[in-house]
Each structure stands twice: as C-alpha cells, then as structure tokens.
Structure 1
Amino acid sequence: MSQPTQPLVALESTVISHGLPYPQNLELARSMEATIREHGAIPRTVGIIGGQLVAGLDDSQIVHLATAPHVRKVSRRDLPVVVARGEDGATTVAATMWIAHRFGIQVFATGGIGGVHRGGPFDVSADLQELAQTPVIVVCAGAKAILDLPATLEYLETHGVTVVGLGTDVFPAFYSRDSGLPVDIRCDSADEVARLWRAKQALGLPGGLLVAVPVPEAHEIPAAEIEPAIQQAVAEAEARQLRSAEVTPFLLSRLAELTGERSVQTNIALLQNNARAAAEIAVALASSTPSSSLA
C-alpha cells in the first residue's frame, strides 16, 4: 500500500523579490503561507539561498529575499548559474515548477503565468514550455492580461497542456474574470481537479496541468476598463525597445501607475485566492488514491 502524501503547495519567490516593494512583499509572502495553512495544506515557498535550492523557505530566509538588494530573478536557464556562483535567487513560475517537482511537490500557486507576448518579435515565456514538460499542477488567475491570450492558449494546446477552469467555462484574464476564450474543461471542485490529475498520471502523459481561477468578483478590473491602460503600457515598452525579461516587469509597474495602484490590489487579491484554491486541491490530492490502471 502506498503511503499517503502530504498536502504540499509550492509558492514562487519572484513576487517577494521583484513583484512588490517592502514591506508589502513580506506581508504578502506571509499571508499566502497563512492562507494555505488555514485550508489544511502545508506551504513550501521556493527560492535559492547561497546557491542551495530550497523548497520551504523559513521566515528569516523569506525576510532576506524580501529585503536583500541583489537577488537574481531565476528561470530554468539561470539555475546552474546561481548554484555554481552560490548566489541568492528568486524563482519564476518555470524555475519554481522545476524545483517543486524535484522536491516531490505536485501543486503550485502563483498569480498569472507568462505566455506569448503581444506584437513582435515572437517572444514566449519559459513558463509555457515548463508546463509542457514538468508534472506540476499550476493554479493561477490565467495568463497575465498584458499578453496575447489567444496565442498563449494555442501554444498550450499544441504542447498538450490541459487548461482547466475552476468554477468557470472561460479563461480568466488575470485582472479580469473573463477573457472571452474557452477553457478545455470546467471543474467545479478540488476533488474533480485531483481526479483529472490522477487520470493524466495513469495515462503516462508528460507535463503539468493548468488550473485557472477567476479573480474574486469584488476585486476584478473589467477587461474593457484595464485594456486601454495595457495598450498604453505595451506601446511604451515597444517605444523603449524592451525585450524578453525586461518587458513584463515594466508593463506591470506601468499598469500600477496608470491604475492608481488598483492593479496591485487586484494582484494581491488573486494571489490569495489562488493560494486557497491550491491548498484545497493539494488536500484533495493527498486524500485521493492513485489510479493503478485504466481499466
């Protein structure tokens, strides 16, 4: 008989070091962990300290990443660099997925995944390829609204990533609950998501599962309201000729300015909501039985 698994939930650390200013970043990191505990799961914030991969930062390490001036933003490609040099690193979605899987964690809560950027040249986040190859359930509020959402969903379909709407038939657009684009399948409970994940494992299919959770209605910024600000921010990024890793931080920061920090408050609300949903999925997964056959 297999041993029961613990209901673990991974959390990224980029939001701590590069997402919000101090002390907002520290407050959010602690409150997300508290939310996960309140819903019966165990938080495991992921980061790199002195070149060591950590899946379960203690409070002093979280404080360090929230306050240290030179913490590297780490995607998969950067992992050997920070390890070889003994550096501190805050992990993106892609790197958090890889480390979570390495430590046996099956569920990961984030804000919004990266994706295909608007306009050209063709720019695709490493998050999408990680979803295609690393077996982790990623709970998010969809892809960041600054992206080309139809192209992002097309990329995920091409690479065999099932997109689940938790309590919704449509793909959320981060700040907004409805992008107008359909998800692959709707699940109305954590148990349904757990069964879907078990079926994927039994089939031997590679890669992760993307679970999209709409931002709470009280904190939503409707698409029609946020889109003009997004278009302005994207145009400014193009005028500055920003590329690759420079683009997303600029766009999110500019949106915060254009919306009078409303986008930041929405971001915090959806992060907390995703942490709750991920905890419920982790608990359901820990209490479910792995499929032994497809019969």
Structure 2
Amino acid sequence: MSALGLAGVVPDRDRSLRLLQQYGVYAALLVLFAVSVALDTGFLSTGNLRIQLFQVAPTLVVALGMALVIGTEGIDLSVGAVIAVSAAVIPLYIGWGLPVALVVALALGAVSGLAAGAMVAFTKVQPIVATLALMIGVRGIAELVNGDSAKPVTDSGLLSLGADGFAGVPLMAWIAAGCVALTGTLVHRTTFGRQLVAVGDNRRAARLSGLPVRRVLITVYLLSGVLAALAGALIVGHGAEADPANQGLNMELDAITAVVVGGTPLTGGRVRVLGTVAGALFMQLISAVLTQHNVHTSITQIVEAAIICFAVYASQERGTR
C-alpha cells in the first residue's frame, strides 16, 4: 500500500476509535436495552424498571467519586470498605435521629478520603497502595464496630430512602441523579474541574504552572469517600439492615468498571460524567439480562471481564496516538 493510502487509513482508524470512545457506550446501551425488551416482554414493566434503578443507584453514586479520582490518574480501592463502615455506624447513631446518623456516616467517609488523599498528595504513596491499605483497615474497623451479625434498621426515614419513590422513580435514583448533576457541574463548570483535568493530564506540568495539585488530590479522594458513605446509607435503607461483612464487597470493582466502560481513561486527564452513568446502566443491564435467563454467575463474570478489557484497550489505544 502506498504512503498516501496508509495516511488515509490511519486517520480513519483514529476517527473510528475516537467515536467509539465518545459514543460507543451509549450505542451499546441502546442496543442492549432493545435486546432486553425483545427477549423479555416484562422488561418494561414498572416493577422491573424500579428493581434495576434500585440496584444501579448505589453503584452509580460510588462510580461518580471514582471517576473524579481516576480523572487525576488515581484509583480508590477503599470505597467498598467505606460503604461497610458507614453501614456499621448507622445502627449506633440512628437513635439520635436520622440526620445525626447520616452526618456521622458521611464524616467517616470524609475522614477515610482525607487519609487516602493525604497519603497520595504528601507522601507520594501510589494510589493503589494507599487505598488498598485503607480498604483492608477500614473494613476491619467496620466489622469490629458492627460485631459478628447483621444489625436490623427500623428507622422509617432511612427505610423510605431505600424503598419509597417520587413520580414513579425510587428516591435512591433521584439522589443518584442529583449526585450526577452536582458532579457534572463540578467537572465542567468550575475552576476546580479544570484543575482536576490538568492534574490528571500532566501532574508535573500542573505543579510547575502553580496549580494547587495537593489540594486537588485531597479533594477528589475526600469526595470519593463521602459519596461511598452516601451509597452505604442507601444500601442500608434498601436492605433494612447493616451487614458490613457483606455490604460493599467488590463495589470498588463495579465502580471502576462503570467509569472505564463509560470512557474515562485510567491514564487520567478526562472525566466523562454522563459516560459513567451510561457505563453503570450498561453493566447493570448486562448482569440483569444474563441473570434473568439463568446464565451461570461465572459466565456473567467472564462477559463483564471481556467488556472491561475491550474498554481499557480502546482507551489506551486512543491515548497512544
């Protein structure tokens, strides 16, 4: 092939990869939704749609915080443990009223996020190491606080967050939508959002430009911790119990998957908020469709792993060009 022909092929490939990363998750979500409707006539029933929203809402809330962290070229493996510890303290403080219990849970999430951010920003510990240590330690604290068995929660206010709805949509979904709006505004409409992207794109250049790199890093991990704690409260309200031994398990992986499938590269420098929403919905639908058709859990995991690998490949392929 001539040099001119190669020059034409490469831009076409670059354009295809760019379109795939920007819009691929939305197209895949639409196709999967259409297939789900075709295979199951009851898929569009109110009850089934509410179930899907109940299941995806906590994952989406956590994924939004994870997207901010990944945007700085970081990772937060502690979010599942933060969910567990926030769930553990709610039964202890719910007697003081729901606002007090929520404030304590969110405060613990903030403290965990601050610890992770401080280690990354000041000690230069790799994010995966810092948050892995927190993941192990915080879950241990959660199980110590909660004890050996699940604790029932009967507060009507908290249970309403996990079970009630407004205009036919679960309150959990409305809360998740509010988090999406706030995160989108933060990323795309504020100076902090531009600083976040600059830090993820080139941390050294951002520091030399006078940007508050440490403050940005601490803030994104703090926000990730708070959002994870909020997700923990929603999970407790929906399940009517606090069970830190099981709640939040593998949630960090689900959140990372939603972010990566949504088009946010692991190399940082970009945060796709709406893509994260689409990624969370896509992975939820994949799991729901396979489960409803009695596909074994191991096959579901293999399918999800293949999707993650493809999403990471597409992201890295674009980043190397």
Question: Per the shorter chain, which TM-score range?
Answer: under 0.3
Higher relative helix content: 2
Greater radius of gyration (CA)? 2
* Structure 1 length-normalised TM: 0.26
* Structure 2 length-normalised TM: 0.24
Query: Greater relative contact order (Cα 8 A, min sep 6): structure 1 or 2?
Result: 2
